[in-house]
Amino acid sequence: MADHGITLRELDERPVTDLNGVGEAGARSLAAVEVRSVLDLLGYYPRRYLDRSREATVDQLALGEEGMVLVRVEAVASRRTRNGRSLVEVRVADDTGGLRLTFFNQPWRLKQLTEGREAVVFGKVDSFRGDLQMTNPVVDLVGDRTGRIVAVYPQSETAGIQSWHVDGFVGEALRRVGKVRGLSDPVPVGVLDRYRMVGRSDAYRSIHRPESMQEMVEARRRLVFDELLRIQLALVQRKRDLERTSVGIVHDTATTILMEKFRAGLGFPFTDAQDRVVAQILEDLARPAPMHRLLQGDVGSGKTVVAVSALLAAVQGGYQGALMAPTAVLAEQHHLGVAEMLDGITVDDPDTLLEQRPLKVELLTNRTTTTERRRIGTELVAGGIDVLIGTHALIQEGVRFRSLGMVVVDEQHRFGVEQRAALREKNDDGTVPDVLVMTATPIPRTAAMTVYGDLDVSVLDEMPPGRNPIATSWHEDDSDVWPVIRDEVEAGRQAYVVCPLIEESENLEVRSAEEAFTSLSDGELTGLRVGLLHGRVGRSEKEKTMRLFRSGDLDVLVATTVIEVGVDVPNATVMVVLDAARFGIAQLHQLRGRVGRGEHASRCLLVGKAPTPESEERLRALVRTTDGFELAEVDLDLRGEGTIMGERQKGRNDLRLASLRRDREWVEAAREEALHLVGSGGGLADHPELADEVTLFLGEDESGYLLKS
Ligand code: ADP
Ligand code: MG
């Protein structure tokens, strides 16, 4: 602030056409890659760098290794391959020898690499008919630049964007910024010093024009930190703001009769982890600010009884509770399970003769009939229903409660921010119910900080006792698998066979499940009682099949991923996943969690070839460990953060440089600094420029929270 430099906001208000050299055509090309302002341009970061100090001569190139050489174009030709792809072949050389460059689908190379031009090329060296060759190398035309490190920008043929164009434009932008006042740096000096961060002007210059690779790394570190800090500022501020502006319910957590009765009826003691999490929840419930807590717990860690405890704490004080699941099937299962656990428990009711009535649990989904729905609606408003179980539709449709005190959302990853917002309008007196969201998809700590940074997080990191670890094996061929099922069924156990996931088409998936069912029933599993379950099976049929499987009247359940979550049959000990490479780590882990739920040793058999090295690593990780958090880390390493960020990845709030994977430590640092900067009261009032940057990058929605104070 003291330096009066140019703000990012000001850069964003400058169109690229203000720069010398960016004509109309240039602006059009840039617009095609979403670069419109000077800020966009400076945020169009290089894809990679060529370190000219590592330049070799052609005779030093080694087959099978990457190399970089400065060469002259001797001849260039283009043709089409047999399957119609464009192929440009360029003959280049330096004083020590010749090299052949082959470019597929880059017809413009013909015009770029004209005879006599000099270029630095970088790529893996192979040989073709005795010649040294590079296929689709990185090319940097040697212009008037002298730097040893050359930035290579993302190119786009359709947009007509080539690296050296961008380089020229960026150079002009940097020159103009430097000439005037440099960039303003709103991050407090104390913070920068703590992490030995370079200033913002230097960071932007060095990410584009580094003098050394070290300088580039420093620049990247600073810009990564800025990205992560903006996100954390938004999240922390949102959390503080919710706490400050919403009127929650102060639950009376001193009386615990209902919870005690519930626990006494369970037949098992809570694990230490369950006790700890329930205590955290009760502490939240006793506070006036509404709870916003995420409960992470691996499959089978016993989240349901924690959820029921929370619901009972609310019911105890005369409030109602809601439990929401992502699908109707799951809601139905929760309803069955929870109603059974709460059977025989009574609540006070002065309107009845004995001033007591049974605690009432109801189910409401899109399959509930209109008359039922009407009845439930009336009873909800009258307060005759204590716990309502249903899908997420519960909070969106005009369902009114008398006094909703506690909401549990199962499987958070399908539950969005807007849905959470809808909860704020649920009580007529303006109070906001407490919210517990549960996920069985463990995500790494730093990712949780980013994706769920506006929630408090509890972790169930302990499995109920007596669980047998699930032995997992991978079989390229399915022939070993069927005898395992037969043996287990012989021993009185049951098995699941999950059919290949076909994401593109439910029809195909259903058909493949039907085919598997028929061929297994008539073939490998003949003589066993086999049932079929998939997304197109009607409700009553589905219920019947599940009932038969639960009661042990079916030996094997052939199914699609409809059984992914919530199915709980302790006698099932074998999980076979066909074509397992098609599934993601999290999904396989969920499926595996369907077994190992009882006293018997269980197995999970992953079947099929792994078509890619990545899918092979996935399968190997599952064989290696059953720890969901460890798998989540592997998943993050393999897939990057894209899938985790989900919703929030759209538009400008995209992380450009930062990676939740590589930059874990910076996520933590940014979180810590954001907590300091936002403080406990006044928000970012002392840091208006930072607040404005959050708006600029993350949009009005996020910043709404920042500016309100
Ligand atoms: P998830 O966290 O996957 O939702 P559930 O809540 O469905 O797990 O619990 C899995 C199984 O473990 C259920 O059969 C449940 O009754 C049982 N369970 C939960 N807590 C305990 C405990 N403390 N001791 C023994 N069994 C438990
Ligand atoms: Mg569950």
Query: How far is 245 from 249, CA to CA, in rounded Å?
Result: 13
Query: How far is 513 from 324, CA to CA, in rounded Å?
Result: 29
Residue at which a domain ends, from 146, 167, 197: 146
Contact 685, 241 (CB under 8 A): no
Give the least confident one: 347-361, 380-394, 607-621, 657-671. Answer: 657-671
Hey, is 546 helix, strand or coil?
Answer: helix
Q: How far is the CA of 349 from the centre of ligand 2 (A)?
A: 31
DSSP character at residue 269? P
Nearest to 153 by CA among 49, 38, 52, 46: 46
Locate 324 and state its tokens.
Answer: 């929401």
pLDDT of residue 359: 96
pLDDT of residue 653: 43
Give the least confident one: 149-158, 176-185, 457-466. Answer: 149-158
Q: Measuring from atom 26 of ligand 1, which residue has the nearest CA? A: 464
Q: Say if 474 falls within a structural domain.
A: yes
Q: Say if 238 falls within a structural domain.
A: no
Hey, is 8 helix, strand or coil?
Answer: helix
Contact 657, 45 (CB under 8 A): yes
410 forms bridges with which residues in the sheet? 438
Q: Say if 649 falls within a structural domain.
A: no
Contact 326, 488 (CB under 8 A): no
pLDDT higher than 90, residue 52 = no
Q: What is the pLDDT of residues 433-457, one digit of tens each?
A: 999 989 877 777 777 777 677 788 8
Q: How far is the CA of 566 from the centre of ligand 2 (A)?
A: 5
Q: Measuring from atom 16 of ligand 1, which residue has the nearest CA? A: 302
Look up the CATH number of the domain holding residue 79. 2.40.50.140
Q: Say if 192 falls within a structural domain.
A: no
Q: What is the pLDDT of residues 564-606, one digit of tens each?
A: 655 778 999 999 999 999 998 888 988 998 898 888 899 999 9
Query: How far is 61 from 613, CA to CA, in rounded Å?
Result: 28
Q: How far is the CA of 590 from the centre of ligand 2 (A)?
A: 10
- 135 and 267 inside one domain: no
Cα angle vertex 112, ends 108, 113, to 5°?
115
Mean pLDDT, to the nearest integer, of 314-325?
A: 94
Q: How far is the CA of 243 from the centre of ligand 1 (A)?
A: 32
Q: Within 10 Å of residue 243's Cβ, how many Cβ atoms?
A: 16
Q: Say if 656 falls within a structural domain.
A: no
Structure confidence at residue 701 as a pLDDT band (50, 70, 90): low
Ligand 1 atom closest to residue 570's alpha carbon, by position in its atom list = 14
pLDDT of residue 472: 97
- 437 and 554 inside one domain: no
Q: What is the DSSP string of 663-685?
A: THHHHHHHHHHHHHHHTTTTTTT
Nearest to 647 by CA among 437, 416, 476, 438: 416
Ligand 1 atom closest to residue 410's alpha carbon, by position in its atom list = 4
pLDDT of residue 684: 85
Residue at which a domain ends, from 457, 491, 510: 457
pLDDT higher than 70, residue 301 = yes
pLDDT higher than 60, residue 307 = yes
Q: Measuring from atom 4 of ligand 1, which residue has the nearest CA? A: 303
Contact 568, 541 (CB under 8 A): no
Locate 292 and state its tokens.
Answer: 């916003």
Q: Measuring from atom 17 of ligand 1, which residue has the nearest CA? A: 302
Please report which ligand is nearest the Cα atom of 590. Answer: 1
Phi, psi torsion values for 704, nearest 5 degrees:
-50, -40
User: Which H or E element spans position 176?
Assistant: helix 163-179
Whether this prediction's pTM lies above 0.75 is answered by no
- 24 and 69 inside one domain: no
- 451 and 475 inside one domain: no
Query: How far is 19 from 38, CA to CA, in rounded Å?
Result: 8
HSE (CB half, 13 Å, CA atoms) of 517?
17
Nearest to 542 by CA among 520, 510, 580: 510
pLDDT of residue 703: 43
Look up the CATH number of the domain holding residue 615. 3.40.50.300
pLDDT higher than 50, residue 1 = no
Q: How far is the CA of 365 from the centre of ligand 2 (A)?
A: 18
Report the Cα 156 to chain-centroid distance in Å: 28
pLDDT higher than 50, residue 706 = no
Structure confidence at residue 641 as a pLDDT band (50, 70, 90): low
133 forms bridges with which residues in the sheet? 100, 126
5's torsion region: left (phi>0), alpha (psi -120 to 50) or beta? beta
- 18 and 78 inside one domain: no
Ligand 1 atom closest to residue 306's alpha carbon, by position in its atom list = 6
pLDDT of residue 240: 82
- 536 and 414 inside one domain: no
Q: Domain count of the chain? A: 4
Q: Say if 685 falls within a structural domain.
A: no
Q: How far is the CA of 323 from the centre of ligand 2 (A)?
A: 11
Q: Which residue has the higher pLDDT, 19 or 108?
A: 19
Query: How far is 155 from 176, CA to CA, in rounded Å?
Result: 24
Locate 692 and state its tokens.
Answer: 């404005």
Residue type (1 letter), 203: A
pLDDT higher than 80, residue 22 = yes
Locate 100 and state its tokens.
Answer: 């052949």
Q: How far is the CA of 300 from the centre of ligand 1 (A)?
A: 5
- 511 and 590 inside one domain: yes
CA distances from 615 to 443, 474, 564 (A): 19, 12, 19
Query: How far is 208 from 539, CA to CA, in rounded Å?
Result: 59
Q: How far is the CA of 464 from the centre of ligand 1 (A)?
A: 7
Nearest to 282 by CA among 253, 316, 317: 253
Cα angle vertex 367, ends 365, 372, to 5°?
80
Which residue is listed with tokens 């590079």? 134
Residue type (1 letter), 647: E
Structure confidence at residue 707 as a pLDDT band (50, 70, 90): very low
pLDDT higher than 50, residue 627 = yes
Q: Within 10 Å of residue 65's Cβ, how many Cβ atoms?
A: 9
pLDDT higher than 50, residue 702 = no
Ligand 1 atom closest to residue 305's alpha carbon, by position in its atom list = 6
Nearest to 186 by CA among 675, 688, 670: 688
pLDDT of residue 8: 95
pLDDT of residue 351: 78
Structure confidence at residue 645 as a pLDDT band (50, 70, 90): very low
Please report which ligand is nearest the Cα atom of 298. Answer: 1
User: Which residues' Cβ are closer than 6 Å to ligand 1?
Assistant: 268, 270-271, 274, 297, 299-305, 440, 464, 568, 597
Contact 412, 294 (CB under 8 A): yes
Hey, is 573 helix, strand or coil?
Answer: strand
> Could you tell me the residue range of the domain that residue 165 belongs to?
1-46+155-179
Residues present in the chain in total: 709
pLDDT of residue 188: 94
- 440 and 510 inside one domain: no
Which residue is listed with tokens 């699908």? 327
The pairing of beta strand 292-297 with beta strand 434-439: parallel
Q: Is 214 exposed, middle or buried (0-12, 13-18, 19+ CB in 10 A)?
A: exposed
pLDDT of residue 321: 96
Query: How far is 89 from 609, CA to CA, in rounded Å?
Result: 37
- 536 and 591 inside one domain: yes
Q: Say if 242 falls within a structural domain.
A: no
- 418 and 480 inside one domain: no
- 332 and 365 inside one domain: yes
Q: What is the pLDDT of residues 477-493, one digit of tens each?
A: 999 999 999 999 999 99
pLDDT higher than 70, residue 397 = no
Q: Measuring from atom 5 of ligand 1, which residue has the nearest CA? A: 302
Q: Say if 376 falls within a structural domain.
A: yes
**H helices, E strands: number in the chain:** 25, 23
Residue at which a domain ends, from 625, 659, 693: 625
Nearest to 485 by CA among 476, 493, 475, 477: 493
pLDDT of residue 414: 52
pLDDT higher than 90, residue 282 = yes
Please report which ligand is nearest the Cα atom of 409. Answer: 2
Query: How far is 127 from 497, CA to CA, in rounded Å?
Result: 48
Q: How far is the CA of 304 from the centre of ligand 1 (A)?
A: 7
- 163 and 120 inside one domain: no
